[in-house]
Amino acid sequence: MASNHHEFLILGANFAGVGTAHYLLRHTIPALLKLNATRTYHVTLVSPSTHFFWKIGAPRTLASPDLIPLSKAFGPVADGFQEYSTDQYTIETAAAVGFNPEQRTVTVELPSKETKTLHYSTLIIATGTSSPSAVWTLNGSHQNTINAMKELHTTLPSAKTILIAGGGPAGTETAGEIGSLYPKAQTTILSGTSRLLPRLSKATSHDVQVRLKKLGVEVVNNLRVTSVKKQDGGATELAFDDGTTRTVDVYIDSTGGKPNTSFLPKDWLNENGQVLNDDKSLRLTVPGSESIYAIGDVGSYSHGGIMDVKDGVVPLCSSIAIDVAKTIDPSKAGVFKQKNFKWLPDTQFVPTGPKGGVGQVFGWRVPSLMVWAFKSRTFMVEKLPGAMKGEDYIKA
C-alpha cells in the first residue's frame, strides 16, 4: 500500500531547482490534492549555497562592482518562498554525497561536515555544474563565488595583461566586458577551437571576433591552456598545448564546468558526466531510476544555457504529476497531459560589452540592437527577485 505522505526531494537550488520547487508547490501539488485530499505533500530543497546566484550576469559582475554590485547578483533562496506555509517546504543547506535508489535515500553533507540521510518519494536532480573558477557557478557556498569576484575586482583595474580561456558565451562576453572597461590592458581570449562561439554560424563567429578586435581584444584560435601556476607576486604562468608559455597579470578560466554528479552511479552518467535522462519528459532512462528526474546542465537532455532550464520545468512537472497520480489511482494518470521539452536550436544572445553584441534565433542572425535590448543593457539582473519567486511559473 502506498504511503499517505509524498516527499519531493530537489537537489540544487538555483534556476533549475528553485523553478521546479515553485511549480510543484504552486500547481502540481494542488492538482494532486484534488485526486486525493488525504495524502500530504512536502518539498525539500537541498543546496550547499544559501543564496541564489544570477550567473547570467557573471561576465559583467566580475568585471567591476560598479556595473553589477554583488548585492544585486545574489539573494537568499528562502526569500523567494515566503508565499508558502512553512510546513509545505524545507530548505536544507547541504550537498549530496551519497545515494541509495533501492531505499530511496540521499546522503547529504552539512556545513558542519556531519552527514544526514534524506528520504524521497520523488527525486529531482538539479545540481548543475562546478566550474574551474567559482565566478561562473556556485561551487559550494555562494561566499566562494563572492570571494572569486572580489579578487578580480582588485586585480583587473591595474592589470596590464589579461588572458581568458574559453570561447563559448561566457568567455566571449567576459572579453567584451573587459575590453570595454579596461581598454589600456592587453586582453587576449583563446577560443580553444577554430573559432569563437562554435555552436553558432561561422558568420556570427566572424562578427563577434571583429567586434572584440575593435575593443582591442586579441582572439587566438586553436590554442589551449595545459597548465596553470600562480606565482607569489600574483601573476599567473600558463603553459599551452603548442609548447609555449606566457605569464599574465590576470587569468580567467571560462572553459566550462563539470556536472555535479559524483554521488550518482557511474553507469547512470554519459561520457560528459551528465545523468542520463529522456530528452522530452526529463525522466531518467537507466534501470532502477523510477520516480527520478533531472533538469538543467546536469541532465543529458540539456545543451547548456538557461533556456534549457526554463523550458524544462513544465515538461518535468507534467511527468512528475502523471507518475505520482499513478500511485494514487492508475486510472487517474490521464488527468494530466504529458508536455514535452523542445530545444531551441542555434539560439544565443552574446553581448560584447554594454552597447550590443551578436545573436541568433533558430539560426537567423539578429541585430546588435536586439542583443542590447534583451541582454547587453543590464544582463537582465533586475529579474533576480522574480526568478527567486518563480515568476516565470505563475501560470500552469
Please calculate the CA angle 252-256-258 and round it to the nearest 5 degrees: 125
Average pLDDT score over residue span 293-313 = 97
Q: What percent of the chain has pLDDT over 70?
A: 99
Average pLDDT score over residue span 115-119 = 98
| Amino acid identity, position 42 | H
DSSP-assigned states of every residue in 50-78? SEEE-GGGHHHHHH-TTTS-HHHHEEEGG
Asked if pLDDT for residue 1 goes beyond 70, the answer is: no
**Rg, C-alpha atoms of the chain:** 22
Average pLDDT score over residue span 108-135 = 97
CA nearest neighbour of 135 among 106, 157, 103, 164: 164
Residue 235 near residue 249, CB atoms below 8 Å: yes
Distance CA 351, CA 55 (A): 14
- Residues 157-199: pLDDT tens digits? 999 999 999 999 999 999 999 999 999 999 999 999 999 999 9
- 8-state DSSP, 249: S
- β-pair partners for 250: 162
Q: Give 331's contacts (C-beta < 8 A, 6+ positions apart).
A: none
The kind and range of the H/E element at 240 are strand 236-240
Distance CA 141, CA 135 (A): 12
Residue 224 near residue 214, CB atoms below 8 Å: no
Distance CA 266, CA 262 (A): 8
Pairing of strands 89-93, 40-47: parallel
Handedness of CA 80, 375, 346, 202 (dihedral sign): negative
- What are the contacts of 84-91 at 24+ separation with CB within 8 A? 84/25, 87/42, 88/25, 88/29, 88/41, 88/42, 88/43, 89/21, 89/25, 89/42, 89/43, 89/44, 89/45, 90/42, 90/43, 90/44, 90/45, 91/13, 91/44, 91/45, 91/47
Confidence at residue 3, expressed as pLDDT on a 0 to 100 scale? 75
- Residues 334-365: pLDDT tens digits? 899 999 999 999 999 999 999 999 999 999 99
- Residues 60-95: pLDDT tens digits? 999 999 999 999 999 999 999 999 999 999 999 999
Q: Quote the mean pLDDT of the chain.
A: 97
pTM (predicted TM-score): 0.97
- Residues 248-267: pLDDT tens digits? 999 999 998 999 999 999 99
